[in-house]
């Protein structure tokens, strides 16, 4: 049998070796903007992709490279690029694949920032998006146009936790010669590896569960390496950024340069080079530290979440709880199939009563922190309608399952009993308000 | 894209037009691979005064046709490709199965070959039953076994010199893209090839053997007889390297090839 290294070991070791210069066991933070050339020929060869190595930390950096290999190993991809944020990862994926006149079909249940980029910002640059109900495969199909270049969704929709049917959406995408990009921020590779279900590109806001402690902003874009960017009769002609000579890099044809990693090459040689949203090496180090404990943390996140979900679902002040493992969630069966380890630690619920009672609930919490983030070791709470989704129209809010009473929790690693007592106390206060 | 033997042939050229005035280097990949395994090395030579033809062998990558069933057939195909490209003499560089084909071509057609570089060669190159059986069944296990055996223990966990690329994942997914049955045909060609020492005895050009000290697919000891049979050979041995030499040690491989393939004055040519 093949000797393959298992997931938990990869979280600690993939991409890293003891430092050959010093013997340091931890990955060093290569806090250097640039790297010395051996001679003029070496310099020219590095610039022209004839030799492997680092030139300038906007393009690549040794600490970031360890992180890029690690997430690739965990996702079972061919490679990755570390970028400044999750939003930078989404932007890099899109601009690597398409330009003005192109079209995206996206789930309507997205993080508010992603929705904003697609709905308001990218149209200014000639890229249009059609939003669809992620559960409606016919809607995905109907939205595809001749100019469509990408299908995009989140493993777990935000904030309704719609489970993206990656196998079926992928099948549809590939039938049209299109790739599927998946935001797996809520799930991490511990809960699902989208490439195993057919997705072609995956990105993370590593700010969340991957780093895990709410101390950095970073993004990771991973290439599965399976998509054929030049398949006759399907994708051929749709992705000239990858299949036609690029004057900006000596007429390189990226998909010919590497059969598996052409997308990554273009993203690094153009996207990071020209748009410049790179990750700092200190950030990469901190995310690596987080990933080292990813399996332990994610399991605890899920265990705590399950207990809190059960508590809330039985509470008289709670109108509804949206978690895909609950019997009334429409994606329960799909979640069982795609997310057997659990559906993450971010979910929403609605409390009965007025908006003021909702505010009283949030302001009565003592352990849960009221802020705009998820995936911290500490438990967090927010009111989506007035914060993360405040730019979204009322109609789209309803479509995404968000009401005035919707509260989103990100369950941390505290003792679950303390979290339940905190929630119980706040619900009681809201009930009396 | 040209045709050889009625099937289209793809050759990566480093985005450079062919220049008849320049010397030519032909790169031949191993089982279920394609031209991309030579990306860094082939691009270097393409931008340093050489014509580069980094091939997709028949039935592989972007080339048409079916995989050729024997090392001898691939060797003849390589020479036919030189004919089509109107290249009188070329340096041939091969990896694994490609190395055997390069060796055979140099033995059969010494007048066409300026130098040969053989990476991860072994003569003979037996393939285990478990791998052959898995490949015959198009079982994914075959790709997993090769990936597991092709990288040294140190490189199984990464540490790629090429930033951001996960070596074993990239190797695995490249093989996954090969056509059904291609890996089995390739491995069987390696397994059945018996003419290596005979071909080596007929080689008249300088030969470079690049060996990985940790190579489990083609252990360096299996290149000893080959080395002894070559009249003009040198060995470049890479510590902490397995069979995926071009990926595991891209710069060292390039440096070895660059030194070996350095153009010589006409009076110094070996033929």
Tell me the mean pLDDT per 10 residues along chain A, length 433. Answer: 84 94 95 96 94 97 98 98 98 98 96 94 98 97 98 93 97 98 98 98 98 97 97 95 95 96 97 97 98 98 98 95 96 98 96 84 95 94 79 72 85 98 96 87
pLDDT in tens, B46-105: 999 999 999 999 999 999 999 999 999 999 999 999 999 999 999 999 999 999 999 999
Q: How far apart are alpha carbons B144 and B159 in whole angstroms? A: 20
Nearest residue in chain A measured CA to CA from B10: A256
In this structure, the number of other CB atoms found within 10 A of the CB of residue B263 comes to: 13
CATH code of the domain in which B113 resides: 3.40.50.1820
Q: Do A53 and B161 touch (CB under 8 A)?
A: yes
Query: How far A61 CA sits from the closest chain B CA (Å)?
Result: 8
Count structural domains, chain B: 1
Q: Is the peptide bond before B124 cis (omega within 30 degrees of 0)?
A: yes
Bridge partners of A278, per DSSP, are A83
Query: What whole-number distance in Å separates Cα of residue B177 and Cα of residue A226?
Result: 7
The encoded tokens of residue B142 equal: 């075959």
| A346: three-class secondary structure by DSSP | strand
With vertex at residue B167, the alpha carbon angle to CA B164 and CA B170, rounded to the nearest 5 degrees, is: 95
pLDDT at A400: 67
Per-residue model confidence (pLDDT) at position A3: 67
Q: Which domains does chain A have, with CATH numbers?
A: 7-290 (3.40.640.10), 294-432 (3.90.1150.10)
Assigned token pair, A217:
């902003």
Looking at residue A243, its pLDDT comes to 97
Given an 8 Å threshold on Cβ–Cβ distance, is A257 in contact with B162?
Answer: no
B116-125 pLDDT, tens per residue?
999 999 999 9
Residues recorded for chain B:
271
Could you tell me the pLDDT band of residue B271, with boundaries at 50, 70 and 90? Answer: very low
Intra-chain end-to-end CA distance of chain B, in Å: 31
Q: Nearest CA to A157 among A109, A86, A87?
A: A109
pLDDT of residue A371: 92
Q: How far apart are CA B162 and CA A281, in angstroms?
A: 17
DSSP state string for chain B: -EEETTEEEEEE-TT----TTS-EEEEE--TT--GGGGHHHHHHHHTTT-EEEEEE-TTSTT--S---SSHHHHHHHHHHHHHHHT-SSEEEEEETHHHHHHHHHHHH-GGGEEEEEEES--SS----HHHHHHHHTT-HHHHHHHHHHHS-HHHHT---SSTTB-HHHHHHHHHHTSPTTHHHHHHHHHHH---HHHHHHH--S-EEEEEETT-SSS-GGGGHHHHHH-SSEEEEEETT--S-HHHHSHHHHHHHHHHHT----GGG---
pLDDT in tens, B173-193: 999 999 999 999 999 999 999
Q: In this complex, which of B158, B168, B250 lies closest to A51 when CB atoms are compared?
A: B250
| CB pair distance less than 8 Å for B12 and A81 | no
Which candidate, A264, A210, B173, B95, places its Cα nearest to that of B103?
A: B95
Pairwise CA distance, residues B44 & B50, whole Å:
9
Q: Nearest CB to A2: which of B48, B144, B162? A: B144
Statement: residue B265 has pLDDT above 60 = no
Complex-level ipTM beyond the 0.90 threshold: yes
Q: Which residue of A has its CA nearest to B171?
A: A78
- Of chain B, the percentage scoring pLDDT greater than 90 comes to 93
On chain A, the residues whose CB falls within 8 A of the CB of B163 are 52-54, 59-62, 64-65, 68, 268
Residue B206's domain comprises 2-268
Select the residue from B149, B163, B242, B262 to test the A interface by mutation, using most A Cβ atoms within 10 A: B163
**Residue for token pair 């390039």:** B254
Residue A44, min C-alpha distance to chain B (Å): 10
Helix (H, G, I), strand (E, B) or coil at A335: helix
Instruction: Tell me if A408 sits within 8 A of A382, measured CB to CB.
Output: yes
- Measured from the Cβ of residue B21, the count of other Cβ atoms closer than 10 Å reads 6
Nearest to B169 by CA among A20, A13, A152, A5: A5
Task: State how far residue B202 is from chain A, nearest Cα, in angstroms.
Answer: 34
Chain B residues within an 8 Å CB radius of A81: 164
Q: What tokens does A27 get?
A: 């990955």
CA dist B124 and A177 (Å) reads 43
Kindly determine whether residue B166 and residue A78, on different chains, have CB atoms separated by under 8 Å: yes
Reported as a pLDDT band with limits 50, 70 and 90, residue B266 is very low
What is each CA distance from A335 to A180, A183, A209, A281, B267, in whole angstroms? 19, 16, 19, 36, 73
**Residue A231 CB coordination number (10 Å):** 12
Residues B210, B245: contact at Cβ < 8 Å?
yes
pLDDT at B269: 39
> Which candidate, B46, B3, B43, places its Cα nearest to that of B24?
B46
Helix %, strand %, coil % of chain A (to 5): 40, 15, 45
Q: Which residues 6+ apart lie within 8 Å of B159 measured at CB?
A: A15, A16, A17, A69
Q: What pLDDT sits at residue B270?
A: 38
Cβ <8 Å between B165 and A261: yes
Q: How many helices (H) and strands (E) does chain A have?
A: 17, 12
Query: For residue A301, which of A384, A188, A203 has the smallest C-alpha distance?
Result: A188
CA dihedral A365, A369, A375, A378 (to 10 degrees): -90
Is A105:A118 a contact under the CB 8 Å cutoff?
no
Residues of A in contact with B177 (CB under 8 A): 226, 228, 259-260
Suggest the residue from B165, B177, B256 to mutate for an interface test with chain A (most A CBs closer than 10 A). Answer: B165
CB contact under 8 A, A260 and B177: yes
pLDDT at B58: 98
Query: Which residue among A17, A260, A264 sits closest to B164, beta carbon to beta carbon?
Result: A264
Contacts of A68 in chain B (CB under 8 A): 163-164
Q: What's the confidence (pLDDT) of residue B1?
A: 66
Q: How far is CA A372 from CA A54, A161, A376, A382, B23, in A?
A: 36, 17, 11, 7, 62
User: Which runs of consecutive H residues, i.e. helices, occur in A314-415?
Assistant: 332-338, 355-364, 394-399
Q: Distance between CA atoms of A124 and A121, rounded to whole angstroms?
A: 6
Of A113, A112, A95, the residue nearest A104 (C-alpha)? A95
Tens digit of each residue's pLDDT (9 = 90 or more) over B229-261 = 999 999 999 999 999 999 999 999 999 999 999
């Amino acid at each position: 049998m093949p000797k393959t290294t298992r997931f938990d070991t990869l979280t600690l070791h993939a991409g890293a070796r003891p430092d050959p210069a010093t013997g340091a066991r931890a990955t060093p933070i290569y806090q250097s903007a640039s790297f010395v050339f051996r001679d003029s020929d070496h310099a020219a060869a590095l610039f022209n992709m004839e030799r492997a190595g680092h030139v300038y930390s906007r393009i690549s950096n040794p600490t970031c490279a360890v992180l890029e290999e690690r997430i690739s190993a965990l996702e079972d991809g061919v490679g990755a690029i570390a970028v400044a944020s999750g939003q930078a990862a989404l932007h890099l994926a899109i601009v690597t694949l398409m330009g003005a006149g192109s079209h995206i079909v996206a789930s309507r249940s997205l993080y508010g920032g992603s929705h904003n980029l697609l709905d308001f910002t990218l149209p200014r640059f000639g890229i249009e998006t059609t939003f669809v109900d992620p559960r409606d495969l016919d809607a995905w199909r109907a939205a595809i146009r001749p100019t469509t270049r990408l299908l995009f969704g989140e493993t777990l929709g935000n904030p309704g936790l719609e489970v993206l049917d990656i196998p079926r959406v992928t099948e549809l995408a590939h039938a049209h010669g299109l790739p599927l990009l998946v935001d797996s921020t809520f799930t991490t590779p511990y809960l699902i590896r989208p490439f195993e279900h057919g997705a072609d590109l995956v990105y993370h806001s590593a700010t969340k569960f991957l780093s895990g402690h709410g101390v950095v902003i970073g993004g990771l874009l991973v290439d599965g390496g399976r998509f054929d960017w030049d398949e006759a009769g399907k994708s051929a002609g749709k992705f000239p950024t990858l299949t036609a000579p690029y004057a900006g890099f000596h007429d390189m044809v990226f998909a010919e340069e590497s059969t598996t990693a052409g997308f990554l090459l273009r993203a690094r040689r153009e996207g990071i080079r020209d748009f410049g949203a790179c990750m700092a090496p200190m950030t990469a180090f901190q995310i690596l530290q987080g990933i080292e404990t990813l399996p332990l943390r994610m399991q605890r996140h899920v265990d705590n979440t399950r207990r809190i979900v059960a508590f809330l679902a039985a509470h008289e002040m709670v109108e509804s709880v949206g978690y895909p493992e609950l019997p009334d969630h429409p994606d329960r069966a799909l979640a069982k199939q795609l997310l057997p380890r659990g559906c993450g630690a971010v979910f929403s619920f609605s409390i009965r009563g007025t908006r003021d009672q909702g505010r009283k609930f949030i302001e009565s919490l003592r352990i849960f922190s009221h802020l705009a983030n998820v995936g911290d070791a500490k438990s967090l709470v927010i009111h989506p309608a007035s914060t993360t989704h405040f730019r979204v129209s009322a109609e789209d809010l309803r479509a995404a399952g968000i009401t005035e009473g919707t509260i989103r929790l990100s369950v941390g690693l505290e003792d679950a009993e303390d979290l339940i007592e905190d929630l119980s106390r706040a619900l009681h206060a809201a009930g009396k308000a | 894209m040209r045709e050889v033997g009625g099937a289209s042939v793809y050759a990566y050229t480093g985005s450079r037009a062919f220049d008849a005035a320049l010397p030519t280097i032909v790169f031949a990949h191993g089982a279920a691979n394609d031209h991309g395994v030579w990306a860094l090395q082939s691009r270097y030579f393409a931008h340093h005064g050489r014509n580069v033809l980094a091939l997709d062998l028949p039935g592989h990558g972007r080339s048409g046709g079916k995989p050729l069933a024997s090392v001898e057939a691939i060797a003849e195909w390589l020479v036919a490709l030189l004919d089509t490209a109107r290249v009188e003499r070329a340096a041939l560089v091969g990896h694994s199965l490609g190395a055997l084909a390069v060796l055979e071509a140099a033995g059969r057609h010494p007048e066409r070959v300026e130098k040969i570089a053989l990476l991860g060669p072994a003569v003979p190159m037996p393939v285990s039953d478990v791998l052959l059986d898995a490949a015959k069944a198009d079982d994914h296990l075959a790709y997993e076994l090769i990936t597991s055996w092709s990288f040294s223990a140190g490189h199984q966990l990464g540490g790629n010199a090429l930033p951001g690329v996960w070596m074993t994942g990239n190797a695995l997914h490249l093989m996954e893209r090969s056509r059904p049955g291609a890996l089995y045909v390739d491995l069987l060609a390696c397994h059945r090839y018996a003419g290596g020492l005979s071909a080596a005895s007929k080689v008249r050009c300088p030969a470079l053997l690049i060996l990985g000290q940790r190579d489990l697919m083609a252990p360096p000891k299996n290149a000893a007889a080959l080395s002894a049979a070559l009249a003009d050979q040198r060995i470049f041995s890479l510590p902490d390297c397995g069979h995926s030499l071009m990926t595991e040690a891209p710069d060292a491989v390039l440096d070895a090839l660059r030194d070996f393939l350095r153009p010589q004055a006409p009076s110094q040519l070996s033929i």
